[in-house]
Amino acid sequence: MLVIGVDCATQANKTGMVLASWSGAALRFEDAAIGSKRNPCLKVLSWWIGRDPDVLLALDAPLGWPELLGSVLATHSAGKVIREDADDLFSRATDRRIRERLGKRPFEVGANLIARTAHAALQILEALRRATGHSIPLVWEGKDFSGVGAIEVYPAATRIAHGLAKSPRPLNGLKERMERDLSSLGANPHVLDAAWCAVAGADFLAGLAEAPTPKDRDLSRREGWIWVRSGQPEEEGSRG
């Protein structure tokens, strides 16, 4: 199976992409790219998707908005007070869970410029559906996954979950996964983030990522869910 990590952005030259293979036990990086006019993201991703019948896209961008925000704004008039708490209004259940568990606050898609990145990510996802002929649904179960699907990930949280939040070496935790020289990982932060997106994708496929609770399952399918390795973060420096 292939795992494609994408550090999403509104500009092609800030969109990092990494191709990796997942054996069921190990992740191996195979290629990396940055979008450009001569190398459009759609072209790169479509080519990679066409290499295997089973592909997981791991996207670093919110893929949904807070449900409460939508319902409140639908009936709001200019100048009227909004009585709902700002944290509940602008953040999603998955954002609050990441902050509670890992101490990392994701950008709020309801109150931040990340909304433009979310819009761009949904645009490229739809363009890939048209270009490849695959429906590319959001995936909610990793172990039995097959076909072409997508999940939302957050590389900063994945680094924390792997015990590498403060590592001074950008490639720490990634070098042992390299099948070939991907020196651009150390030089370009967007490609490096895309590599951690792929790691999050592998965690998901291995059944190691925290899933929504039964209580939040329906809400997460409307708002989106950030898939991050479950359990306590590994001790800093415990990996090569």
37-83: per-residue pLDDT in tens?
888 999 999 999 999 999 999 999 999 999 999 999 899 998 898 99
Mean pLDDT, the chain, integer = 89
pLDDT higher than 50, residue 237: no
Condensed to tens digits (0 to 9), the pLDDT of residues 119-158 reads 999 999 999 999 999 999 999 999 889 999 999 999 999 9
Q: What DSSP string describes 25-58?
A: S-EEEEEEEE--SSS-HHHHHHHHHTT-S-EEEE
pLDDT-derived band of residue 183, with 50, 70 and 90 as boundaries? Answer: low
> Across the beta sheet with 16-22, what order do the strands follow?
27-34, 16-22, 2-7, 55-60, 148-152
pLDDT higher than 80, residue 32: yes
pTM value surpassing 0.75: yes
Nearest to 157 by CA among 199, 117, 129: 199
d(CA 225, CA 147): 20
pLDDT higher than 90, residue 240: no
Tell me phi and psi for residue 149, to 5 degrees. Answer: -145, 180
Nearest to 13 by CA among 33, 27, 31, 34: 34
